Amino acid sequence: MLAKRIIPCLDVDHGRVMKGVNFVNLKDVGDPTQIAAAYQKQGADELVFLDITATNEGRKAIVETIEAVASQVFMPLTVGGGIHSVADMQNLLKAGADKTAVNSAAVNNPELITQGAKKFGSQCVVLAIDAKWNPEANQYNVYVNGGRKKTDLDAIKWAKQGVARGAGELLVTSMDKDGTKSGFDIKLYQELTKAVNVPIIASGGAGNIQDFTDVFLAANVDGALAASVFHFGELTIADVKSQLSQNGVIVR
């Protein structure tokens, strides 16, 4: 059976990896290839690169970054952030990415998912969803534009729609949990795993080793993504996997 995946996320701006908390106090912390190689050595199962470059001119840099990383690091690479067209996807896949993650652009134009899946196969199209619980409507709302803009979309329904359109994987961030280090949003992922039959990557809220065990055991997600706990060296991937293994979760 497939191993559960531990996935570090790297925020990339103009070809450099940035670290910060909630996009504040961003610091340049290094070269993407070197950091990716270090994660490969630690036992990461996949890497997600999030292009946080704000300008269109800067977007070419992410293609060069992926080209460089893919020449030195040999594991699955997913790229998200600022992908608006099939041509954007193609450029990244050609550079060595294995999957492209679409978020706001897919909300604005769901046809983008269909077109990408038709051209490259579902396995290349990840639907990234930023979701936040709305107690009044009793649903998770989808947010776009880096979580700044609320939409009326129900995240569970949007996930189903995305999969029906050909998304081969979901990368779902809980905005309620993101940055809190209080654990993953178990309820959100339980609802998602019931709703769709594609791999689901949980994101947002990882604070300690137990959080990873909890989300895999309680919600049966396929992967768990984290940024700060790995970047700042609070947890090592090896320690996380060691505890997962002790709890009967299959890891590499």
C-alpha 126, offset from chain centre: 9
- What is the rounded CA–CA span in Å between residue 78 and residue 44? 13
Q: Hey, which bits of the chain come out as E strands?
A: 5-13, 16-21, 24-30, 47-51, 77-80, 99-102, 125-134, 139-144, 149-154, 169-174, 200-203, 223-226
Q: Is 40 in the site for other proteins (CB under 8 A)?
A: yes
- What is the rounded CA–CA span in Å between residue 181 and residue 177? 7
Is 51 annotated as catalytic?
no
Q: Is 194 in the site for other proteins (CB under 8 A)?
A: no
Choice among 45, 98, 130, 154 that is catalytic: 130
Q: What's the min distance (Å) between Cβ of 48 and other proteins?
A: 14
Single out the residue of 27, 28, 60, 72 in contact with other proteins (rule: CB under 8 A): 72
Q: Is 49 in the site for other proteins (CB under 8 A)?
A: no
Is 130 annotated as catalytic?
yes
Q: Is 96 in the site for other proteins (CB under 8 A)?
A: yes
Q: What's the min distance (Å) between Cβ of 153 and other proteins?
A: 24
User: Which among 127, 126, 131, 156 has a CA at the least distance from the CA of 141?
Assistant: 131
The structure tokens listed for 80 are: 């998200």
Single out the residue of 51, 98, 178, 191 in contact with other proteins (rule: CB under 8 A): 98
Residue 72: count of CB within 10 angstroms of its CB = 12
Select 2 or 24, whichever has its Cβ closest to other proteins: 2
Task: Give me the active site residues, please.
Answer: 11, 130
Residues forming the site for other proteins (CB under 8 A): 1-3, 5, 40, 45, 70-72, 74-76, 93-94, 96, 98, 120-123, 168-169, 197-199, 222-223, 252
